Amino acid sequence: MPREYKTIKEVFGPLMLISNVKDVKYDELAEIELENGKCCRCKVLEIDDGNALVQLFENFAGINVQTSKVRFLGKSMHLGVSKEMLGRRFSGLGAPIDGGPNILPQQRIDINGVPINPVARNYPEEFIQTGISAIDGLNTLVRGQKLPIFSASGLPHAALAAQIAKQAKVRNSNEQFAVVFAAIGITFEEANFFVKSFEETGAISSTIMFVNLANDPVIERIATPRVAITAAEYLAFEENMHVLVILTDITNYADALREVSAARKEVPGRRGYPGYMYTDLASLYERAGRQKNKQGSLTMIPILTMPEEDKTHPVPDLTGYITEGQIVLSRELYQKGIVPCIDVLPSLSRLKDKGIGAGKTRADHSDTMNQIFSAYARGKHAKQLMMVLGESALDETDTLYVRFTNEFESRYISQDSTTNRSVEETLDIGWEILSILPRSELTRISDEFLDRFYKTKKE
Amino acid sequence: MFDIVRIGEKKIIGEIIEIHDELAFIQAYEETSGLGPGAIVESTGVPLSIELGPGLIGEIFDGIGRPLNTIMKKVGNNLEKGVDAVSLNRKKKWTFSPNVQISDIVSSGDVLGYVKETSSVIHKIMVPNGVSGTITEVKEGEFFVDETVIVLKDRSDNKIDIKIMHRWPVRVGRPFKEKLSPNTPMITGQRTIDTLFPIARGGVAAVPGPFGSGKTVVQHQLAKWVEADIVVYIGCGERGNEMTDVLNEFPSIVDPKTGKSLMERTVLIANTSDMPVAAREASIYTGITIAEYFRDMGYSVALMADSTSRWAEALREISGRLEEMPGEEGYPAYLGSRLSSFYERAGIVKIIGREDFSKIENRTGILTVIGAVSPPGGDISEPVSQATLRIVRVFWCLDSTLAYRRHFPALNWLASYSLYVDEFAYWYETNISSDWPILRNQMLELLVEEAKLEEIVKLVGVDALSGQDRIKLETAKSIREDFLHQNAFHKIDTFTSLKKQYFMMKLILEFYDNALLALKKGAEISKIISIGVRESISRFKYVRENAIDAVYNEVSRNIDHALSATFNEENQTYA
């Protein structure tokens, strides 16, 4: 029977100080019993002599310094996992909230995870076809990658993430696929959009949802992504499934982290976020991947909203340094009515080079990708010139580049949120619009592919 | 102070970093959850050190020198706490062939014998620091790393056993005789670097860049192609998959110098971003100690650290926990001095010790350091970048706008610099061609000129420019796209010899000179810039190294013909 303490000394913000404790360990989980018999959980942050500083995970209303009791549980926070969780909905801490029965856990796993030995990783190189040209063609996603979506308020990132979850598949394979979805401080409507979209496609039966809504306790958000990833790791590395984890919205997670840090009076880093935020985010993102001797994989799509669309804000900035690329949404394209509004120039998939080419997609993929990028960049530059100086200032080649850019945006990037293009279709569209340019401009494509695919204009 | 301790039941590894009266502050190198007051702390009595000996090459270590392969065999795919693993394989026998005889008098650093570690590296076994005496016993044959191979008798007749391996504390630089100033360029096969911003053998360079600017690809390219006997690559706080990529790729890359796998001359240190922060702080020192050890054998060693910003952040995190007074942006006040004392361990040095005992030798060892910096938001006004800039002499500034245009390597030619350029001018003149420095400067001038002209074009359009300026713009574009742009993933383009770089420069500038000439003689500008031979200039980078002479001559001739045709035609019409 664990010892109970009634020695709560202080409660401030999400933190609580308990005095005269014994045998308490760092990072240990504790439980606070309120007068009405309700329990809420917390974890140990600091131990100084006989004083323990704990961080609450749940709503702390109702804690009475005199009467509330604290029990230390002697272990860190664990999540009971099982395959039964598929198709179910849980709270941000992993308790069922869909009215169904409790889960009979196969295993209890520490939600903090254990770092993966870099030697034990398998390099992600299996092409995932998302059916979205801007991703498949130019910023290819592979199994085991962590590829965030950098969005901003008012942009349709939810629709994009749902479309990816719906259409993503590895070609010529019929392996078990699951989605783990973590809602971190998002609105009911947004969460509901995902539920609806999973229900429509029937994907709901292979989805686990962890939901912390905007009005749920902020502190719970620190645990939510960890709980979700722990469930995903179990499915991927114990049950050999291919798991796609969607975390939305990481900015809310970072804000919760900042709240705890501020309450602890830590020295703040940039914009008040704690100095250890890089390490903390890495401990989430790096859990994605593929491992040796394991069949499954864990692919992660965190979504974050950039405050003021500022890519140098600490959250997108640190995320970009850890993840393997980013998909950036653009308001300009959104206003033009282009769906999905992916701005391909600042977007990047670092793992694309190993996932494309002969045998994976098509041999000409890499060359055309580079050519499209550089042509689009040049075309946008020419368009800017045109705005200042008028159309007549452009020479013949630049006029062609402008045409290329317009066609590229309206035919290549733009597609319906229900259109599912195969990668061949994407590549063919690419060649069609590249053929607007004269062959001599296509210096990044080798002659072999030009001979095969370049379509000469009919005079 | 600085002793290694083991904490608690799991025997977590830690290091004493501060002592106040009877209180010691310990930096734990592993995750500390589950520890509490009352846990037992045992001191091992030795500072954080690394084992040096055969078996380092081709291995991947964590930040405190534990081999990750062994850890994986012991505890599986995840890094559990408190795993005990020695750096060097104790069960492998090495063939030791001595370089000394009984009654030779030896002192620190002298080469006692050789072990062929891999097909490309001969490991020299040296007298440990602070030891000297007369040899009384020499063994030959197969030994484990912890077996005695040489026995010495020192002045006071004490017997000293010398084993194949020895230990060295990582925070202390290994001694040398004298530092020399670097005077030759280190060839990397990367055109932007070799031609425009060369680095010295024994120099230090920094590569700052925002994320997505191809910093890691540049580092990988350098590790692959750099002219060095040994490469030490430190993945410090970076992505796990990047280390996996190195592990997968290096063994299959053929080292152009030895014809063997690249892994046979590479040592890897990995502290990925999810591994404990405190060990990240140590990883840089572990890496450079190994690098210095090979330098002391007389080798040229290149060390890449990706990224020093993560190391500085680890320093900040530890400093914050110690409640030290923060300096700029929360970094500790000693950030600059720690960084400079790390970079200062690079250089060309006269090494102590002799290899050939019959003569007086001047042996040198080279340690070149290339550090990546990851400035938040790509803004290099932050403390880590600024502290680094004060130390390094070569600065390769990566630019995200270039990366968006998929211009790789995304080195900004206007912001990058190398302070070695003038010192190396003579070397390039004598080793490649007497007009190398002139061509190089001409190229850079054209690029600077282009930036100015672009401004004008933005205001008034390209048609308003004079013919001369149009040619300048076209040539600068050709420099950017045909010379500076280099595809790391293309079989041939990934490495360019200096001779080929020279030919490429030459072709581009031949076009420039001849075009100006043609213009003077009355050729039409549109004809000049649309001549077909320009396509062969841009394809020259894909020409195989063994064919460059022939192709160069042909292209050069064609440029001449095509351009003279432009004004001859003109004359005919008027005639």
Say if residues A79 and A227 touch (Cβ distance below 8 Å): yes
User: How far is it, in rounded angstroms, from Cα A229 to Cα A285?
Assistant: 9
Helix (H, G, I), strand (E, B) or coil at B18: strand
* A391 and A276 in a common domain: no
Considering A13, A41, A72, which residue would you say is the last residue of a domain?
A72
Tokens found for residue B42:
């045992």
Determine the angle formed by the axes of helices A277-285 and A250-263, rounding to 10 degrees.
140
Closest alpha carbon to B432 in B187, B222, B225: B187
* A141 and A29 in a common domain: no
Q: Which residue does chain A place closest to B241, by CA atoms?
A: A123
| Residue A230 confidence (pLDDT) | 96
Residue pLDDT, tens place only, B115-156: 999 988 999 999 999 899 999 999 999 999 999 999 999 888
Confidence of residue B572 (pLDDT cuts 50, 70, 90): low
Closest alpha carbon to B444 in B468, B409, B418, B408: B418
Please answer yes or no on whether B244 and A121 come within 8 Å at the CB atom.
yes
Say if residues B117 and B263 touch (Cβ distance below 8 Å): no
A329 located within any domain: yes
Q: What is the DSSP letter of B82?
A: T
Q: Which of B240, B245, B458 sits opposite A116 (nearest CB)?
A: B240
β-sheet bridge partners, residue B23: B20
A317 touches chain B (CB under 8 A): yes
Say if residues B53 and B165 touch (Cβ distance below 8 Å): yes
ipTM of the modeled complex:
0.83
User: How far is it, in rounded angstroms, from Cα B517 to Cα B563?
Assistant: 9
Say if residues A296 and A242 touch (Cβ distance below 8 Å): yes
Helix (H, G, I), strand (E, B) or coil at B417: strand
Over residues A6-20, mean pLDDT? 87
Binding-face residues of A in 105-124 toward B, CB within 8 A: 112-124
Residue pLDDT, tens place only, A406-439: 999 999 999 988 889 999 999 999 999 999 999 8
Binding-face residues of B in 48-107 toward A, CB within 8 A: 60, 68-69, 71-72, 76-80
β-sheet bridge partners, residue A128: A141, A170
Please answer yes or no on whether B376 and A283 come within 8 Å at the CB atom.
no
| Residue A26 confidence (pLDDT) | 86
- A320 vs B contacts (CB less than 8 Å): 210-212
A122 located within any domain: yes
Would the pLDDT of B307 be above 90?
no
- A237 vs B contacts (CB less than 8 Å): 77
User: How far is it, in rounded angstroms, from Cα A8 to Cα A42?
Assistant: 13
- B379 vs A contacts (CB less than 8 Å): 312
How do strand A342-349 and strand A325-329 relate by DSSP bridges? antiparallel
A271 touches chain B (CB under 8 A): no
Hey, how many other C-beta atoms are within 10 angstroms of the C-beta on B133? 21
Rounded to the nearest angstrom, the minimum Cα separation between B501 and chain A is 19
The burial of B22, by beta-carbon neighbours within 10 Å (0-12 exposed, 13-18 middle, 19 or more buried), is given as exposed
Binding-face residues of B in 218-257 toward A, CB within 8 A: 235, 237, 239-241, 243-245, 247-248
- B462 vs A contacts (CB less than 8 Å): 393, 395
**Phi and psi angles of residue B512, each rounded to the nearest 5 degrees, phi first:** -60, -55
Over residues B77-99, mean pLDDT? 89
Residue pLDDT, tens place only, B323-338: 888 888 888 999 999 9
User: What percent of chain B shows pLDDT beyond 90?
Assistant: 55
* A286 and A181 in a common domain: yes
* A382 and A234 in a common domain: no
Tokens found for residue B467:
């013919």
Residue pLDDT, tens place only, A258-315: 988 888 888 787 888 988 898 899 999 999 999 999 999 999 999 999 988 888 899 9
Residue pLDDT, tens place only, B530-558: 888 888 898 899 999 999 999 999 999 99
Residue pLDDT, tens place only, B502-515: 999 999 999 999 99
Tokens found for residue B461:
């359009």
User: Going by C-beta distance under 8 Å and a sequence separation of 6 or more, which residues neighbour residue B501?
Assistant: B191, B194, B195
CATH of the domain at A7: 2.40.10.170
A343 located within any domain: yes
Number of domain units in chain A = 3
Closest alpha carbon to A250 in A289, A307, A293: A307
A183 located within any domain: yes
* A140 and A44 in a common domain: no
Q: Give the helix, strand, coil percentages of chain B, each rounded to 5.
A: 40, 25, 40
Please answer yes or no on whether A366 and B310 come within 8 Å at the CB atom.
no
**Phi and psi angles of residue B89, each rounded to the nearest 5 degrees, phi first:** -65, 120
Considering A53, A72, A91, which residue would you say is the last residue of a domain?
A72
Closest alpha carbon to B222 in B189, B255, B271, B268: B189
- B532 vs A contacts (CB less than 8 Å): 440
B517 touches chain A (CB under 8 A): no
Please answer yes or no on whether A373 and B405 come within 8 Å at the CB atom.
yes
Helix (H, G, I), strand (E, B) or coil at B323: coil
Q: What is the CA radius of gyration of chain B?
A: 28
The burial of B356, by beta-carbon neighbours within 10 Å (0-12 exposed, 13-18 middle, 19 or more buried), is given as exposed
Say if residues B335 and B308 touch (Cβ distance below 8 Å): no
**Phi and psi angles of residue B114, each rounded to the nearest 5 degrees, phi first:** -125, 145
* A133 and A273 in a common domain: yes
| Residue B428 confidence (pLDDT) | 93
Please confirm whether the linkage preceding B251 is cis (ω < 30° from 0).
no
| Residue B570 confidence (pLDDT) | 53
| Residue A138 confidence (pLDDT) | 93
Please tell me the number of Cα atoms within 13 Å of B248 on its side-chain side: 15
Tell me how far CA of residue A314 lies from CA of A43, A267, B374, B375, in angstroms. 26, 16, 13, 11
Residue pLDDT, tens place only, A195-218: 999 998 888 899 999 999 998 888
CATH of the domain at A304: 3.40.50.12240
Q: Degrees (nearest 5) of the Cα angle B73, B79, B85? A: 55
B489 touches chain A (CB under 8 A): yes
User: How far is it, in rounded angstroms, from Cα A282 to Cα B280?
Assistant: 13
Binding-face residues of B in 8-27 toward A, CB within 8 A: none
Residue pLDDT, tens place only, B344-379: 999 999 999 888 888 888 899 999 999 999 888 778
Say if residues A439 and A450 touch (Cβ distance below 8 Å): yes
* A84 and A58 in a common domain: no
* A113 and A44 in a common domain: no
* A205 and A128 in a common domain: yes
Say if residues A308 and A316 touch (Cβ distance below 8 Å): no
| Residue B575 confidence (pLDDT) | 41
The continuous run of DSSP H or E covering B453 comes out as helix B436-460
Would the pLDDT of A383 be above 70?
yes
Range scoring the smallest mean pLDDT among A73-87, A96-110, A241-255, B247-261: B247-261
| Residue B320 confidence (pLDDT) | 81
Would the pLDDT of B461 be above 80?
no
- A276 vs B contacts (CB less than 8 Å): 277, 317, 320
pTM of the model: 0.88
User: How far is it, in rounded angstroms, from Cα B135 to Cα B214?
Assistant: 53
Would the pLDDT of B94 be above 80?
yes
- A230 vs B contacts (CB less than 8 Å): none
Question: Chain-wide mean pLDDT for chain A?
Answer: 89
A25 located within any domain: yes
A359 located within any domain: no
Closest alpha carbon to A90 in A195, A182, A155: A182
A149 located within any domain: yes
Q: Which of A114, A118, A350 sits opposite B270 (nearest CB)?
A: A118
Pairs of residues, one from chain A and one from chain B, whose beta carbons lie less than 8 Å apart: 184
Helix (H, G, I), strand (E, B) or coil at B114: strand
Over residues B221-248, mean pLDDT? 88
Kindly write down the DSSP assignment for every residue of B306-319, as one continuous string: ETHHHHHHHHHHHH
Binding-face residues of A in 167-226 toward B, CB within 8 A: none
Confidence of residue B250 (pLDDT cuts 50, 70, 90): confident
Q: Which domain holds residue A263?
A: 78-354
β-sheet bridge partners, residue A142: A127
Say if residues A278 and A331 touch (Cβ distance below 8 Å): no
Q: Which amino acid is at B172?
A: V
| Residue B83 confidence (pLDDT) | 84
* A290 and A345 in a common domain: yes
User: Going by C-beta distance under 8 Å and a sequence separation of 6 or more, which residues neighbour residue A418?
Assistant: none
Confidence of residue A457 (pLDDT cuts 50, 70, 90): low
Would the pLDDT of A459 be above 50?
no
Considering A323, A354, A385, which residue would you say is the last residue of a domain?
A354
Closest alpha carbon to B273 in A288, A303, A182, A291: A288
Tokens found for residue B497:
């010899």
Rounded to the nearest angstrom, the minimum Cα separation between B43 and chain A is 21
User: How far is it, in rounded angstroms, from Cα A433 to Cα A371?
Assistant: 11
Residue pLDDT, tens place only, A133-180: 999 999 999 999 999 999 999 999 999 999 998 888 888 777 888 999
Over residues A309-327, mean pLDDT? 91
Please answer yes or no on whether A385 and B457 come within 8 Å at the CB atom.
yes
Please answer yes or no on whether A117 and B245 come within 8 Å at the CB atom.
no
| Residue A1 confidence (pLDDT) | 60
* A258 and A134 in a common domain: yes
User: Going by C-beta distance under 8 Å and a sequence separation of 6 or more, which residues neighbour residue A57?
Assistant: A40, A41, A42, A43, A77, A93, A217, A219, A220, A222, A223
Please tell me the number of Cα atoms within 13 Å of A45 on its side-chain side: 18
Tell me how far CA of residue A161 lies from CA of A98, A114, A168, B482, in angstroms. 23, 28, 10, 39
* A219 and A85 in a common domain: yes
